[in-house]
Amino acid sequence: MAGTRVSLGAAAAEVETLAGGDVTTPEGFRAAGVCCGLKQDALDMALIVSDRPATAAGVFTRNKVKAAPVLYSQSALAGGSARAIICNSSNANACTGDGGMRDAQEMAVLTAEELGLLSAHVLVASTGVIGVPLEMSAIRSGIPKVVKELGPSAKEAAEAILTTDTFAKTAAVRIQTADGAVTIGGIAKGAGMIQPNMATTLCFLTTDAEVSAAVLQSSLAGAIEGSFNRVTVDGDTSTNDCALLLANGASGVGLAQGSDDLALFQQALTEVCIELAKMLVRDGEGATKLVEVTVQGAASEDEARRAAFKIANSPLVKTALYGCQVNWGRVIAAAGNAEVEMREAATRVWFNTHLVADAGMAVEQDLSEATKELEADEVSVRIDLGVGSALATVWTCDLTEDYIRINGSYIS
């Protein structure tokens, strides 16, 4: 358990990163993952349950094409409360028409019946292949199984939501408030079709804080904007993206609007989301390295963000990084194509800590050390546009032959 000190105004507080933490680390939550038969001999159904009433919040894909479970959960969240999240992998239940909506609703009803809850208190998520009807016989047999397996670990649940991912993504933190400790945990999945523009392909979060639905929604939206909305693998936004957050108050700590404790909670929630978001990029399909792209000296934060995404999504930049090439020309060209204000004569570019371009021209130096450092599994690219003081950071990965291989054989 490692602690990281953060400063909030005049006060300082402790945010502890909990090694091995997940959605069952906060008090009053259980989870499970089972194989229901959508995949052959692999976990494909996950369930997260709060043992007591909970407020709920969610953010969803901005793609105009929305999967049935997205539409269903958006509607269910109108009441501001939920007790369970049921999720299947292998099939997205997207572009499946009215039948897909009926299947999403049935998933909620069946889960509610097994748990003794109202179906309105069950949120639904799916991920996998688009355009294929959900195999409901597997869903119907799997829901009783996953309910029976509910327990204090989310290991199987975190694995059951994966598709092309190569590892499960989990995180948790604990904060100390004036009234006691509050814990936040999360699991996520995603490796391709990622520039979420809301959340991640799937992200499920829990907390034992007591928070009103309106405040919880605002906190989640803020955390997502500073984390999942700052990552990209390939520039594509999924039909199924969603992030769901349950707050059950089991800690006995209430967080009021405008309080210092709520500000600390926001900081901690964002940290969990950033950690999960970075895991998505590390696990980008075929990726060999996590790349942090920072644009500074921009006219506005929005322009800095747009330029950063333009660089992060550039196939030429991403392939150069895969090849460990200090090709700053591709970086400056991508920024110049972002339709943002910049002064070429004042532009500077760094690869890690090495200044490789100044005043829009090459810096005469030996680049062997800068090139060597690009062999690491985490690297950074930074550019100063030379027009203002705004900056933004996004995270991406390199582009390899394996990305083509994986997506050339994945039917979606």
- CB distance 336 to 382 below 8 Å: no
β pairing state of 242-247 and 202-207 = parallel
Give me the helix-helix angle, 315-322 and 328-336, nearest 10°. Answer: 160
The whole-angstrom distance between residue 395's C-alpha and the CA centroid of its chain comes to 11
Catalytic residues: 200
Buried b (16+ CB within 10 A) or exposed e, 349-376: bbbbebebbeebeeeeeebeebeebbee
Token pair of 181 as six digits: 């400790």
Q: What radius of gyration, in Å, describes the C-alpha atoms of the chain?
A: 22
Task: Count CA within 13 A, CB hemisphere, residue 80.
Answer: 8
How many Å apart are CA 272 and CA 270, to the nearest integer? 5
* Residue 171 near residue 46, CB atoms below 8 Å: no
Beta bridge partners of 202: 189, 242
Residue type, 182: V
The half-sphere exposure of 198 on its side-chain side, counting CA atoms within 13 A, is 23
Q: Is 53 helix (H, G, I), strand (E, B) or coil?
A: coil
Pairing assessment for the beta strands 361-362 and 354-358 based on DSSP bridges? antiparallel
